[in-house]
Structure 1
């Protein structure tokens, strides 16, 4: 498993770290530096190749006003990473990555510039430059537009995530600054994205990340600024979202929420439960999912035992969850009750400097040659 970190102000990380994960016990080995890179704040692993992709969340790449997207070849014996290819993100502050189910297209969001990008992927996992976008012809780049009522955070668009649907026909993008969830048409073979429609969230909510239900026509966006999660019905054929409701990620009894914000969202592989991390409150909210209506019900809020849980991940198999505490420099581990979804802290705490993303390796079917 790998950990992305922030590498700016101390205490800071130095790049991407790697640990070995014991699937039986859940134990994680002491992390080692896998590669040096500036601000690898989000990672994703190719579904079939031994390739890890990372954003470099910066605003200047080789003298150009853009961040970077980098592919790395994995040494499966050590977990060390060797840089394979680099492409500019076509915007400042890339903060999120995802892949379509086939691993042929990579999707990324630029927070600083409020844009999203799609890159094609070669057979060896290396990244292709985006298809040129013109006024007359769509390509691999879309510039969002919009503002929100929060003057300090919503003065313009801030693309915060983009995920392909299971069919690969559409890509869903949350924009924190515009208070909108965009749906773009996606053509995986050509890596072209085309604006399709958008659905507004509540003013000042600031949608951040999106999770599609694995088998039901529902999707969920955590709103960073107002500590809520919004449920949507998703028409997969037409690529349209319809808002169902929004619910708080912390108990209503907590009135003082200064400095609080949501960060990550994930649905359990069973499809029964949804989790959202709360920064400031330093907790993970557990929701039950109504399979008929898609509505959410808050079941519990579990302390993360780490500070500023910017990210968390559900381990393969759905039995464990690991949270990344950006401010505390720690990873904390939990077991998941398969019947209730409840988290139980297992007392394992791992030190990683400024951790902000966690990903697991996947079964490898082929390994490209190192450059």
Structure 2
């Protein structure tokens, strides 16, 4: 081949690689999972250490199995299998918010889309349709509009489950689960139209040691073979890997760089463990990772770059951290990998030894039901604004303070209907809600540059003596417990006006004298603390877009606590809940069931603390539990045992100049505010990020006593 011919062949590959590098330069700031059982798309903040923290979720149409970022990093696409749709959202790079583009969702015109992949140019997108071959579409990089290409969908064989694009953008491959084959196509670089290669489809493998139980799955035809499930390519585009569900193997092919044809390497297929579900290649190209559905483990193979042969690394397979791992997504450096676990409703974060390929589980975060796929996105770093504090001051109404200042100068005030006993703030920081115990009402207020203003018509009736409130992470629903009539009331919050509107079938009954309500980070469950009956009521959401209306009675609700429970906190990953029992001077600790929200006591629970614990909160890192102990005027610092949730036997304390009544953490976990029991003093404590140690920064006396306090997260305003 001539020098000019080599250059002309390399240029498209280099252009595609450069585009990918530019789009994904820098660390991921956001992550997204599609949740197949919940019909939703979850959003997460990716912390600097790789931890995921919930930002909310978006309802989707039925059964979304896959999500992908476009190469520019500006759009998120999720497919809905049951209705044949592509949902397209524009990503806000500052806060991770998603906005549907005009016309979304788009019809695929291909039955049961199951996987989705972009052309490296970003101009075309393709789906594997289980009953329709390969759908091909033009993608408008400015508007996000999806348009079917002429001839789409393109014919494949039975049960097309997976589709992958060659890094050069010249070839595309589709896995046919019930035909034991891979269909291969050439991609027209101008039109995106597909042309099947002359030798396609390619047989996956001669099948040995079949898992016959897998062949008994519903609608598996006779002669299905190894049931190839998923496919991946190495970053250089030299090898292709196909996992075979019923054959417990990985088939490896060498890719012809001239025509894209596949040829099995010597020794293929390679054993990988039963029911391999998905396969992913490490960004370095040195290791191949396979999720094992039946064992919930991850097999890791070293790849011989010359022969394509696979060999297990030492210690393989490794625990996935959950049940039913279905995907693996690496960060750019390959030092971390995220694994959605479909059956246990969580996403695992594992650290990767980039030299050996070995995995080490770090943590899992509970999410919505049936996480099926995950995508990472970059973003724009935004300087965080200083948090503000909003205080409920009884008959004096509400006051807004600058949380960064120790002098607590009042920025704005507002009067409401009656004596304000509790306050809650919507996560975006645009609205606050005041519970007026004297008049049994709730009032909505707008938080703006001009301060606080009551929303016109925004006062609604509650139950008798509303005592505490909570708002879900989306800002969709507000919940209030009513202590004198033992009920929980729910309202839908208008996204624009902030107006609370009653939801159907509310209020619902709780235990006796409910005093607190807390939602889990994924907004799947609500926990109501019943001080009069010494127990916790658990309520479940009915769907991704519905408020909680169902008491988990058939799963054991209410659940016993200690004497006079007064507060409950859930750690950021959603595994464990902690309850302060004021009269028994201890902390009840529970594991939260991933499907029902049922509470089961942890070994060693309850854990002793100092006298009269009246409030508690968990640090955003999930490493420490802070407890306000009223009668000894201190805050106890309990270390949370990683992976177990138990509290360390020895707690540290910080002696306070007041009797504490409530605790509020800043959004970054670096500041802890302590409100005195009588509401007349507010302490500001610094939280040491490595040890959780506390240092008193300021102690301010208040002109008006405060009944409740909420933090307005400045970065969301």
Residue 45 of structure 1: aligned partner: 69
Determine if the alignment matches structure 1 residue 329 to structure 2 residue 345: yes
Residue 263 of structure 1: aligned partner: 277
| Structure 2 segments unaligned to the other structure (5+ residues) | 1-30, 208-224, 381-717
Alignment of 1:1-371 (within 5 A): 1-7=31-37, 13-22=38-47, 24-58=48-82, 60=83, 67-84=84-101, 85-111=104-130, 113-133=131-151, 140-145=152-157, 157-196=158-197, 197-202=200-205, 203=207, 204-215=225-236, 217-244=238-265, 245-250=268-273, 260-299=274-313, 300-362=316-378
Displacement, 1:363?
5.4
CA distance in structure 1 between the partners assigned to 2:238 and 2:160 by the alignment: 24
Displacement, 1:35?
4.5
Q: 1:333 to 1:71 in 2, by over 3 A?
A: same
Q: 1:277 to 1:212 in 2, by over 3 A?
A: same
Displacement, 1:240?
0.5
**For the Cα contact (< 8 Å) 1:41–1:95, is it kept in 2?**
yes
Please give the secondary structure, in 1, of the residue aligned with 2:53. Answer: coil
Displacement, 1:214?
1.5
Please give the secondary structure, in 2, of the residue aligned with 1:360. Answer: strand
Q: Which has the larger radius of gyration?
A: 2
Deviations 1:285-336 (A, max 9, x none): 0000001101111221001121111122112221111111111111111100
> Which stretch shifts more, 320-329 or 310-319?
310-319
CA distance in structure 1 between the partners assigned to 2:109 and 2:247 by the alignment: 29
**For the Cα contact (< 8 Å) 1:71–1:125, is it kept in 2?**
no
CA distance in structure 2 between the partners assigned to 1:363 and 1:103 by the alignment: 18
Displacement, 1:238?
1.2
CA distance in structure 2 between the partners assigned to 1:292 and 1:363 by the alignment: 37
Return the TM-score normalized by structure 2.
Answer: 0.44
Please give the secondary structure, in 2, of the residue aligned with 1:264. Answer: strand
Please give the secondary structure, in 2, of the residue aligned with 1:339. Answer: coil
Return the TM-score normalized by structure 1.
Answer: 0.83
Displacement, 1:3?
0.6
How many aligned positions are there? 324
Displacement, 1:31?
4.8
Please give the secondary structure, in 1, of the residue aligned with 2:355. Answer: coil
Relative contact order, CA 8 A, sep 6+: which one is greater?
A: 1
CA distance in structure 2 between the partners assigned to 1:359 and 1:218 by the alignment: 23
**For the Cα contact (< 8 Å) 2:93–2:378, is it kept in 1?**
no
CA distance in structure 2 between the partners assigned to 1:46 and 1:279 by the alignment: 28
**For the Cα contact (< 8 Å) 2:73–2:377, is it kept in 1?**
no
Q: 1:239 to 1:14 in 2, by over 3 A?
A: closer
| Structure 1 segments unaligned to the other structure (5+ residues) | 8-12, 61-66, 134-139, 146-156, 251-259, 365-371
CA distance in structure 1 between the partners assigned to 2:162 and 2:307 by the alignment: 25
CA distance in structure 2 between the partners assigned to 1:141 and 1:334 by the alignment: 37
**For the Cα contact (< 8 Å) 1:313–1:359, is it kept in 2?**
yes
CA distance in structure 1 between the partners assigned to 2:122 and 2:378 by the alignment: 13
**For the Cα contact (< 8 Å) 2:321–2:363, is it kept in 1?**
no
Deviations 1:117-161 (A, max 9, x none): 11011131523322332xxxxxx321223xxxxxxxxxxx01111
**For the Cα contact (< 8 Å) 1:86–1:127, is it kept in 2?**
no
Displacement, 1:232?
0.5
State the superposition RMSD in angstroms: 1.8
**For the Cα contact (< 8 Å) 1:209–1:221, is it kept in 2?**
yes
Displacement, 1:348?
3.8
**For the Cα contact (< 8 Å) 1:47–1:362, is it kept in 2?**
no
